[in-house]
Amino acid sequence: MAEELKPPVKGPDPDITECMNYLKGKLRGGAMDGSISGNRRFCSHLLKAMQKDYPDHSPVIAVKRLINIAFMDPWYADKTTGFKFLYYQKGRLIQIGLAQRPDKNKETIIKVDASRSAL
């Protein structure tokens, strides 16, 4: 007869656990605001949003970069205490990260502007 299918083993998502541990390691006291389940839920939302916005990159690495940006900024460093905050401040944090990044395309922008001014 047909083989019996076993139900998939349920357990914590390793990506969420990795991101949670990374944020806990960055916090001074090691404790996040809110419940564990709430933080796991918002971490999951953040991972999905990063996967959607940046499909060419690993969402776990993108979330870790977002956490690093938050802790490098003096204003956000004290306020980043959970994934709900990170989820709602994602756009602002990404803009801060882009502003701090060295501009790799500066030469191409200058070339395009120079060609337009010649017209």
Distance between CA atoms of 107 and 49, rounded to whole angstroms?
A: 32
Asked, for residue 28, whether it belongs to a domain, the answer is yes
Residue-level pLDDT, tens digit, the chain, 119 residues: 456 776 776 878 999 999 999 999 999 887 899 999 999 999 999 999 999 999 999 999 999 999 999 999 999 999 999 999 999 999 999 999 988 877 665 444 444 444 444 44
> How does DSSP assign 57-88, residue by residue?
S-HHHHHHHHHHHHHHSHHHHTT--SHHHHHH
- Rounded to whole angstroms, the Cα distance separating 79 from 85 reads 8
The structural domain count of the chain equals 1
The predicted pLDDT at position 112 comes to: 44
Angle at 55 between CA 13 and CA 44, to 5 degrees: 25
Q: Does residue 55 lie in a domain region?
A: yes
Tell whether 83 is covered by a domain: yes
For residue 86, what are the domain limits? 14-117
